[in-house]
Amino acid sequence: MSTASIQMKLANPAPLGLAGFALTTWLLSMINAGWFSGDLMGLVLACALAYGGTAQAIAGVMELPRGNTFGATAFLSYGAFWWSLALFIAFFHGKVPAAFIGWYLFLWGVFTFYMWLATFRSPRALQFIFVALWITFLLLAGGEWTGSVALRMAGGYGGLLTAVLAFYLSAADVINEVYERTVFPIGEARTFSRHAVSL
């Protein structure tokens, strides 16, 4: 009696995580850039909890059986970022000094910086996302430390750019896989690592 071997293909969770990050980042960044007032923050919080936080964290968990340390660390961390930001705004806004908020944003910038360093063997599209996000965090931190509206707005535009880049890579991952060819180029790295395939 022969036993047929069953091969299981794990889905690529990167498009989900990237889209959750991109959509939530875009909404918040429109407010930071001054396009809309902070009165609309409620929708950002809802999206941060459901899509930017939860869906992105699910993508991070999905990276674990794939052996993708980078993807799991990135998606779980930024999912936690959105959860922490939503909880802070909902319950503690106005109770924490701006200087301390600046440190919160700066430390996320530190995390993003060394994650960016880890993308150098990955597609260029991923590198662009992390460097844009790193600069965004620094600008937003500077805005909190100095009270500069200009820096906060610049951080908003940095976030918009980051969101566009993340949406692009998410779309590329989905569409290129469906059509089994490169429809949207992502700047494949010359030396591939295992996390150059997913995220």
Q: Is residue 63 one of the residues assigned to a domain? A: yes
Q: Is residue 99 one of the residues assigned to a domain? A: yes
Range of the domain at 108: 14-187
pLDDT for the residue 101: 97
Q: Is residue 94 one of the residues assigned to a domain? A: yes
Contact criterion met (CB below 8 Å) for 129 and 162: yes
Q: How many domains does the chain have?
A: 1
Q: Is residue 69 one of the residues assigned to a domain? A: yes
Which residues of the chain fall below pLDDT 50? 1-2, 192-198
Q: Is residue 195 one of the residues assigned to a domain? A: no
Q: Is residue 5 one of the residues assigned to a domain? A: no
pTM of the predicted protein model = 0.91
pLDDT in tens, 64-99: 999 999 999 999 999 999 999 999 999 998 899 999
Q: Is residue 6 one of the residues assigned to a domain? A: no
Angle of CA points 156, 158, 159, to nearest 5°: 65
Contact criterion met (CB below 8 Å) for 70 and 33: no
